[in-house]
Amino acid sequence: MKKAYAALTALVCLLFASGSFADQPLPWQATLQPAATQIMREISWFEQYTLWFIVPITLFVLVLLIVVCFKFRASANPVPSKTSHNTIIEVIWTVGPVLILLLLAVPSFNLLTAQLTLPENPDVTLKATATQWQWNYEYAGTGETPLTFDSYLLKDPDRAAAGKVDLATYPRLLAVDNEVVLPVNKTVRVLVTAAPTDVIHAFAMPSFGIKIDAVPGRLNETWFKTEREGLFYGQCSELCGKDHAYMPIAIRVVSEDKYKQWLTAAASDLPGAYKALMAATDGQAKTVDVAENVQ
């Protein structure tokens, strides 16, 4: 069932891909974003799996309510039943929910275990620090002086100078001035926190299946391993003040060679490194894959 759902998701992405091969929310879309990690595929599968329980139970309860309303209304049943116990019914409504909860609990615990089992030897360690209302990123283990930079919401007047005028690739209110750049098919550990004097934020990337609080004075940890290249968008998902809606997260996933080239160039010339990377990726339509998080 997992493989079938993944194949269906991929087919939908291809059918609705734009000229730049970018996944974006569709009008009246009710499904989750296309998965870019194994964890997100499992989350999507679990969502579909739970619907096989939720929908029949909801319809069954609705039918029971309708039957009770008509069959046992005062005019049709002037003398109410005085039955106080029914062994068969009590066994059914005790054993039935236990079995249903068991069928939900087993895959749920397996998914939680996969999410919370952190990798021992990650390929990249990224620290994300939240403040009102931006993100600061630090690449650990990149030399004596770690690479650090701030990431702000890209304002419309700055699009031309940044070379990000294509709204299909760089959506309004989601694009940033400096994206996080990471290699594809590599395990990434993310350390998430907030500035000591700040408020609680949350680092959320729907296509990766991650969402974790950024708490002042506390270092939380999560991980992901993307399976395809592209440009992915998330947002702060914890109400953090008046500009909460203007605190996007952008992660550009590229090949390992492009990542190493960008990392080396960014150490001395961050703007130049981004321009070179954009020239190498945005010009190739099939390598641009955009997934948005719309709240």
Start-end of H helices in 83-219: 87-116, 159-162
For residue 3, pLDDT over 80 is answered with no
SS3 state at 294: coil
Separation of alpha carbons 13 and 249, rounded Å: 22
Separation of alpha carbons 173 and 151, rounded Å: 13
Reported as a single tens digit per residue, the pLDDT across 115-163 is 999 888 999 999 999 999 999 999 987 666 789 999 999 999 999 999 9
Separation of alpha carbons 146 and 19, rounded Å: 37
In sequence order, what are the residues at sequence separation of 6 or more whose Cβ sits closer than 8 angstroms to the Cβ of residue 164? 154, 170, 175, 278
Reported as a single tens digit per residue, the pLDDT across 45-104 is 999 999 999 999 999 999 999 998 988 888 887 887 777 788 888 899 899 999 999 999
Nearest to 252 by CA among 165, 164, 146: 164
For residue 12, pLDDT over 50 is answered with no
For residue 8, pLDDT over 60 is answered with no
Reported as a single tens digit per residue, the pLDDT across 269-294 is 999 999 999 988 876 544 445 555 54
Separation of alpha carbons 293 and 295, rounded Å: 6
Q: Which two tokens stand for residue 289?
A: 């894959």
Q: How confident is the model at residue 6 (pLDDT cuts 50, 70, 90)?
A: very low
* DSSP string across 108-146: HHHHHHHHH---SS-SEEEEEEEETTEEEEEETTSSSS-
Top pLDDT among 204 and 144 is at: 204
Reported as a single tens digit per residue, the pLDDT across 52-64 is 999 999 999 999 9
Domains of the chain: 38-76+86-116 (no CATH), 124-291 (2.60.40.420)
